[in-house]
Chain A
């Protein structure tokens, strides 16, 4: 594995696969979150299942954490190597003439997403670990919706979530379709696939923004 990842093509392949895996996770996360807008009971039920199911906790969650860490670490490794490949910068570099802002600034949109993940873990994941494993509270299948809604009382936190989802959108607009190119998929179906990936990249973050604003506005009212 380590030897395979020494090659630039293989690194991009691994980066693309981890990205595609995270896109799948994002779709699943969004679907669950959307239920919080539709039915608090359904949201509680699914959240309780995800938080207590052995397969999810013991297998899928570690895989997800590995995928997230791998994607970020590989992103930094690629960025450092890429910066080394041009030791003297141009006085004038007209990148906008031939490429999109999103494609040229994946590292910055990625850094914003990394910072957001820190906030998201602070808000939900760490309290969950403390609740379950340190304070060892008895199982309560009805607590999840209330915990979620309470987080969106703060306009600052809601604003940070909205901002982060905008950067997630920018990251996905390039990253999702780019991952197919990296795994070698570029053919007559690529144009249609590009349309789907861009639609996904816009709709899913907009959906997350809607959910955050929905709970914030409900709290205000």
Chain B
């Protein structure tokens, strides 16, 4: 039996109780279902643990638990679980696919739910529809520059280092929706502000900054996300560490655009 020496916890052959949200489809009423799972190794990722559970369920002739996943290396933003009351689980700056079972201990009960927001309706089990984020992006999350045959070398436009860094940091948002899931108001302001900021900070995007922020905030409101009350939960739970500074910047950009 392997032991995590620093914590003196058993991290091999763990037995866990999983409480998982099961919902047949978008219209069905869902409920929490308990599963006992054992033989879990601490080096497994959380999603691999769910794979093991699903293998068991399939072997028993039961419906596997549906959950979102894709790259499994923390860059695609597909995985989306609320684990023990926190998006992407208790560790910080990681996605669910990067969460390892050594975070838990033998005998633990783990509550697994979908990201909850009116704008993120459940499709099935733990999968939610996050196309509201896509529509916010489509509203104006781009730069209207024809790059076909007219591309200018980016290095020919001088940009302040801090602006370039802030823009890059904002652009690392993977759109997973953890900010919405963590916020008590299900607000999407961290996501929207990151998309607004990444363009507003660069000369290429600055030209359309006013139109962009007005259109993206309008779409965000239309989708039914809540209002930001500055709890800071989004920043803490964001797997990419997107800063609240982006929300302040979006507020400034919005107010500036509104009075023009």
The answer to whether A87 and B254 touch across the interface, beta carbons within 8 angstroms, is: no
B249 CB within 8 Å of chain A: yes
Q: Is B176 an interface residue (CB 8 A)?
A: no
Contacts of A158 in B (CB 8 A): none
Asked if A122 lies at the interface with its beta carbon under 8 angstroms from chain B, I say no
User: CB < 8 Å: which of B32, B227, B237 contacts A12?
Assistant: B227
Contacts of A7 in B (CB 8 A): 217-218, 221, 254, 258
**Which residues of A are found within 8 Å of B255, using beta-carbon distances?**
9-10, 13, 183-184
- Given the interface pairs A89-B116, A91-B111, A184-B252, the reply to whether A104 lies near B184 with Cβ below 8 Å is yes
* Chain A hits for B221, CB < 8 A: 6-8
Does B250 count as interface, using CB distance less than 8 angstroms?
yes
Residues of A within 8 A of B236 (CB): 97-99
When each residue 168-189 of chain A gets 1 if its CB lies under 8 Å from chain B and 0 otherwise, what string results?
0000001000100111111100
**A: contact size bracket:** 35 or more
Segment of A26-34, A47-55, A76-84, A123-131 engaged in the interface with chain B: A76-84
Shortest distance in angstroms between A90's beta carbon and chain B's nearest beta carbon? 5
Closest residue to B220 on the A side, CB-wise? A8
- Which residues of A (119-172) have their CB < 8 Å from a CB of B? none
CA A86 – CA B232 in complex, angstroms?
18
User: Number of residues in B with C-beta < 8 Å to the partner?
Assistant: 47
CA distance A187 to B243 in the complex (A): 11
Contact A99 B185 (CB under 8 A): no
User: Main SS of chain B's interface residues?
Assistant: mixed
Contact B231 A86 (CB under 8 A): no
Most buried by A among B113, B185, B232, B252: B185
Q: Which residues of B contact A178 (CB under 8 A)?
A: 229-230
Interface string of B247-260 (1 = CB under 8 A from A): 11111101100100
Nearest B residue to A174 via CB reads: B230
Distance from A180 Cβ to chain B, minimum over Cβ atoms (Å): 8
| Contact assessment for B226 and A92 in the assembled complex, using a CB-CB cutoff below 8 Å | no
Residues of B within 8 A of A8 (CB): 187, 189, 217, 220-221, 225-228
A81 touches B251 (CB 8 A): no
Q: Is the CB of A106 within 8 A of B117?
A: no
Instruction: Given the known inter-chain contacts A13-B251, A88-B116, A184-B251, please indicate yes or no for A99 contacting B231, CB distance below 8 A.
Output: yes
Q: Is the pair B229, A82 in contact by a Cβ cutoff of 8 Å?
A: yes
- Cβ contact within 8 Å between B232 and A182: no
12 further A-B pairs in the complex, CB-CB below 8 A; given A12-B251, A95-B233: A6-B221, A8-B227, A8-B228, A9-B251, A12-B228, A85-B117, A86-B185, A92-B111, A98-B86, A103-B229, A181-B251, A186-B245
Q: Can you list 8 pairs linking A and B with CB atoms under 8 Å apart?
A: A7-B254, A8-B187, A8-B217, A82-B185, A82-B227, A85-B224, A85-B226, A92-B111
Top 8 closest A-B pairs, CB basis?
A94-B85, A184-B252, A186-B248, A85-B226, A82-B185, A98-B236, A99-B231, A178-B230
